[in-house]
Structure formats: C-alpha cells, structure tokens
Amino acid sequence: MRISIIHTREICYYSGEFFLRRMEEALESIGCEVEYLELSHDDVDYDCLEDLLPEKEERSRYDAILDINSKLPYLTLEDGSPFLDRLNAPFYNWIVDHPLYHHPGLSFPLKNYHVLAIDQCHMSYMKANYPWLRSVDYLPIPGTAAFLSEDGERSSDNMTGEKVPGILVPATYLSKEECMEEWKRVIEKIRVKEDALGESGRLVRSFEDLINDLYQAWDPLQQPLEDLLFDYLVSRGEVAEEYAADSFAELMNFLYPLDRRVRYEMRYRYVRAAAQTGYPIRLLGEGWEETDLVRLANVEHIAPVPISMTYDLIADSEAILDINPLFYKGVHDRVPSAMANGVPVFTNMNQRANLTMNRRNGVFYYHTEDELKDRMKEWQELSEHNPQELIEMRWNAYSRWKADLSWDAAASRFLCLVRDNAWK
C-alpha cells in the first residue's frame, strides 16, 4: 500500500511533524511505501503539489493521503477546483483537538474526505455536523517511548533505576486575560456580521449572554461542550442563527475562547492542588512562569522543549500529572506515553475512553482536587512500602502500551480503516 503523508500545519512544540514522522516509520515497518512531504513552513511553495496529481480521470497512485489538522482542504487549482478532488485519493485529516477549532477546514464538501478523531465524542460530533465526510473514525494519538534499546525493547535499568524526584506536568498554561483577548476577537467578528445585518447590538448582547451562561453551567467532566450548548438552545427554543452563526458547528467554533478558558483554569486548579501536597512539582511548558505557582518552594518551571525531548523527560520522571484537555471520551497522548515509559500517571481522563488504562497499568484516576491528592498519597505510600508492586505496574504499563497503544498499533489500525473505507 502506498501512503502520502503531507504535513501542512505545525502545532505546539513541533508535535505535528513529530507525530507524522512516527506514523511514517510505523507504516514503513509493516510494509507500506510512504512518501513524506514537508509543507508546514511559512514560506512554503505549494506548487510542488502539482507533481502528485494524476492525469485527468486517472486514479491516484496513492491509497491514502494523511495529514494532521490539515490545510490541504483549503487549496485550489488555477481553475478553482479543489486540489484534493483532483488528487483523487482518500484524504485522511487527523483532527488532534476538538473539531470546533477546525470548523473551517471541515466545511469543504470534498469528494473523498475522511477524518480521524482522538475522542469518541468528537467522532460523533463530526458525523452529525459534517455529513459530506465519507468516514469518521476513532484513532487516538499513541504513546511514544524514549530510551528503547536497539531491538526496540524497554531497558530494565530505566524501569527500576533512580528517577528525577517529583511529578512532571507536561502542559501549557494561558492566563484568563489572554483568553479574554480571544473572546474579544470573536465578539468583533460577530459585530461585523451584525453590522451587515443591521441588528444594532442585539447579536453581540445575545452572544455575550450565551458564553457567560455556558461558562457558569459547564462542568467538562460531566458533559462535552456540544451537549451543553445543544441543551441550552433547546431549553430556550433557539437556534444557532440567533447568535450570528450559520450552523450549530459554526456557533461551536465561536465558542473556542470558552473551551480555552475552562481548559486552562482547570489546569491551574489541579496543579495548585498537587503543589499543596508539598511534593516536588515540575512544570514543563509555556505560560506557567507568569503564575504565582512558580514562586512556591516545591515547584520548578522547566522551559518548553520540542515534543521529541518531552518523552525523555517523561521517562526520567517518578510520575506524570496529566490534565486532560477537555476530551470527554478520548485519550490524551500523555497517558499512553507515560505507560510506554513505565511511568505512573495521574489523569482525569474519562476511564470509559479505554478500560485497559487502569491502576494495574500505573494509571491513577482522579476527578476532583481532593481525589488527586488522595491518588498522589496512594502512590507515595506504594513507593515507600511496596516498591516491587510499583515495578510490576511499570512493566504492565509498558506491555499494554506495546500491545495496543504504540505507533505500530496505530499504523495497523489506520491501514485497516483505509482498506475498510475503500469498500464502502
């Protein structure tokens, strides 16, 4: 099978290229022919894509095209036709955040458009709101292992040896003020629409009321934002058009500052709770240096690094604190990456997203701040009084990752999806 990976959009800490390169390696290891094209730079020349096009009416030489949060749906040829339609191959857009952020790119009714989702609720959402998509399937970002031996196996020294003291928190932080600036930009966008419709302030006032009501009501551990918004509109007998949106999906796109604000406020609360235990906390990522947390004696801020280096830091750590980015029924890659490196992980991920991620495999679930403190205490007592059980957890986690949560497993799953969707 021949796959073309075309990387058009970089994401935080250069993770877009990193993830696609890992998929390239995994696909090649199971016999695929993979062509990789790097087009994520600002000064990129898209003319090189013309070399990929088949002769008119001919079938593409590729069995599938893959990208992450792709710009490819936006590209058109000189005659105005979509590049991807002319390429005439199944295109897979791996959406690695909530699809509300990617509404414009999902709105193109291309002929052979497929999407991969990292959350089962995201999958249902896209099936409901973008009916032209040929398929929407669930494929979480797998875990990445560091310090593997030449034969690809975990070193026992890394599982049983000394670790850097403290709990690593690989996460970005954005302040309320920065989130509010994003909010203002959305309001300005609505104001432009409002002026065109001659509504004189009504739509802006309605949207401000909406986003404030949703902010007060939303508990992301109880329901995803799309369900909250749907219930809100139904309870008031309203539709998205009353908020200057052309569709429910566009209104969700307007709400991205709400998603961001709640996400970062949750991160702050959980990190604060972890720090209150007195245990060493190591914050890895942008934004934390602006918070009062870094002034605490037991908190260390580590400057951001490319994601390729993050896994080395994970592997060296005693434990990881994962704060799920509001994936209601999805897997955050930090959890399988902790498992890949035999590192215990505290996560507020919904356990129903993957029942094999459990305490036996070093995954400690929490929901409230008090529960996080309790799980940390359990882990500390285990480390002090039953270190052998902790070592068994490390090996169990690694074995589960290797079987089901690795890049090899994800590549095999992707090929199965490509084959299955070809017959639909």
The Cα 251–Cα 254 span in angstroms is 5
- Residues in CB range of 240: below 8 A, 6 or more apart: 233, 246, 247, 248, 250, 251
Please state the separation of Cα 54 from the chain's center in Å. Answer: 33
Mean pLDDT of the chain: 93
pLDDT band at 58 (very low <50, low <70, confident <90, very high): confident
Tens digits of residue pLDDT in 71-121? 999 999 989 999 999 999 999 999 999 999 999 999 999 999 999 999 999
The pLDDT value recorded for residue 124 is: 98
The Cα 387–Cα 384 span in angstroms is 6
Mean pLDDT computed over 50-75 = 90
- Residues in CB range of 115: below 8 A, 6 or more apart: 92, 93, 94, 95, 99, 106, 126, 130, 133, 135, 136, 137
The Cα 100–Cα 248 span in angstroms is 10
The pLDDT value recorded for residue 203 is: 84
The pLDDT value recorded for residue 100 is: 98
107: three-class secondary structure by DSSP: coil
- Residues in CB range of 33: below 8 A, 6 or more apart: 1, 2, 3
Q: Which regions of 121-231 does DSSP assign to beta strands (E)?
A: 135-138, 164-170
pLDDT band at 13 (very low <50, low <70, confident <90, very high): confident
Give residue limits of the domains in the chain: 2-142+410-422, 156-172+304-405, 176-260
The Cα 167–Cα 299 span in angstroms is 10
Q: Rounded to two decimals, what is the model's pTM?
A: 0.95
Report yes or no: 74 and 49 within 8 Å, Cβ to Cβ.
no
Tens digits of residue pLDDT in 149-190? 556 666 656 677 788 999 999 999 999 899 999 999 999 988
Report yes or no: 118 and 331 within 8 Å, Cβ to Cβ.
yes
Domain 2-142+410-422, what fold? Answer: Rossmann fold (3.40.50)
Report yes or no: 190 and 257 within 8 Å, Cβ to Cβ.
no
- Residues in CB range of 74: below 8 A, 6 or more apart: 104, 105, 108
Would you state the structure tokens that stand for residue 92, as one six-digit string? 């897979």
The pLDDT value recorded for residue 386 is: 93
The pLDDT value recorded for residue 156 is: 59
